[in-house]
Chains A and B, each alone.
Chain A
Amino acid sequence: MKETAYAKFWVSDDILFFIYKPMIYLDYPTAKKVVDDRLKFQQEICYPILCNTQGIKNTVKSARDYLANEGSALTNAVAIVDNRHISTVMLRFYLMKNKPIVPSQIFNLQEDAITFLKSLK
């Protein structure tokens, strides 16, 4: 498992598990660092990603835009797991406005997220 200032991540069953640590603002420099760290960890291997966003309280538009575009490098699908009530609004807005360029969906349960990622293999 790799741990950085912003996240913990590891590969299990050919899925990259990516868990954000608690943060008040996910801003552009943080988003860039998050993507850099993930790419360094993956090297040349492309993985589907299970991304737990529960630690994020707020995001800024430039960070969302970056994650939706550059953040899609070396992945073919993203399943976002977040069971907060507010996550539905936050993530629906992200999927609608920022339009990530790889298939992305939101799930309350990790099991459903894994099923989604496996169905795309």
Chain B
Amino acid sequence: MLRPIDKNRLEHIYELLLKIADGDFAFEIERTDEDDEIESILILVNLLAEEMKETLRYYNFLKISESSKEYVTMLIILDSSFQIQFSNQQVQKNLGWSTLEIRHKSFASLLSNDSHQNWTNIAENVLFQPEYHIITKLTFICPKQLAKTFTTAINVIPGHIHGSPFIIISTFETLLKSQLIEEGLKQALKTVHNKDPNKTKRPNVLVKKQDIYIMQQIREHILQNLEHPLPNLRTLANQFGTNEYKLKSGFKQLYGITVFRFLTQERLKRASLLIQNTSLSIKSIAQMTGFKNVSHFSKTFKDRFGVKPIDLKKRQDSL
């Protein structure tokens, strides 16, 4: 016989699986502190939904032919006692609560248990710091006990002489993977702009599942061997049981970047990480990331990040 709490948790799992079956991957189940089989399945379903959401977002990004954007979705305005005074249509669309249902309710009642502490810390400061602004992750509860996590910005509008302040809660959506955001919108836009929509589409070379698997293996091989020279495409393809054409077109099709650009990108990411966090010499870092010599490394690095490795290192050392 199941405990009522377990029955409840199973209900949540069914609910989320139905959402997934319906093609909606934005929901998640609020975690409990239990450590058992049901919690394991609950976690796995959450991970599955997240994986589907991220994967589809990634492919959407590869396909879009216009610039990618971050945009505000939900907007909620609170009064100084943290009661909801206004919520836009997106709140209903994203969370499933109508404007009337949540009007005058406390904002905390929209949040999951895990986010309560986070919100309490914010609420303690928000009214007492001028121009308070924070971006954080908050998990909102939805009808049927499901939940959704959003990157959320909290700002305060100071009150006038006789008025009270208002708090603006806004959430964001983005079409980019977070790592792409970090590398700079500029870089992302460059990639997007380089795509000529009039260009003839390349044929799909990844027809078989095995072909995709081989591309994944090659990607892993590159990441595991950043410090070693990569053989030419023909040799690399032969090593993994495919041919040069499939490797060249298939890798680009799957990851949106050529094999050698990917290699350089990953080498530079690793080099930048080491420059910023260790006292290793530029020469050692160049060697550890597979560059033939320091001048080649320095030039490639500058082309990518707009700064020479040595200058970045000096900047880090002076901090």
Contact = CB atoms under 8 A, between A and B. Distances in A.
Interface size classification for chain A: 20 to 34
Contact of B35 (A28, A58, A66, A86): A86
Contact of B278 (A42, A69, A84, A101): A42
A85 B39 contact: yes
Contacts of A84: 35
Given A57-B114, A85-B35, A85-B37, A39 B269 contact: no
B40 A61 contact: no
Contacts of B54: 61-62
A88 B31 contact: no
A39 B273 contact: yes
A67 B180 CA distance: 16
Given A35-B273, A36-B276, A44-B278, A86 B43 contact: yes
B179 interface: yes
Contact of A39 (B50, B149, B179, B278): B278
Interface stretch (A1-9, A89-97, A108-116): A89-97
Contacts of B40: 85-86, 88-89
Contacts of A93: 44, 47
Interface string A16-37: 0000000011011000000110
Contact of A69 (B43, B51, B223): B223
B70 interface: no
A35 B278 CA distance: 11
Interface residues of B, number: 35
Main secondary structure on B side of the interface with A: helix
A121 interface: no
A41 B179 CA distance: 24
B50 A62 contact: no
A20 B36 CA distance: 21
Given A57-B114, A89-B40, A36 B277 contact: yes
Interface string A45-76: 00000000000011011100110011001100
Most chain A C-beta atoms within 10 Å of own C-beta, residue among B50, B51, B178, B270: B178
Given A28-B178, A44-B284, A70-B270, A89 B51 contact: no
B114 A39 contact: no
Nearest to B284: A44
B277 A61 contact: no
B72 interface: no
B50 A101 contact: no
A12 interface: no
Contacts of B39: 85-86
Most chain A C-beta atoms within 10 Å of own C-beta, residue among B36, B118, B149, B179: B179
B280 interface: yes
Contacts of B31: 57-58
Given A42-B278, A86-B35, A101-B224, 13 more contacts: A24-B114, A28-B179, A35-B277, A36-B273, A39-B277, A40-B277, A44-B280, A58-B114, A66-B179, A69-B266, A74-B278, A89-B40, A90-B43
6 contacts: A44-B278, A60-B137, A62-B54, A73-B273, A89-B41, A97-B51
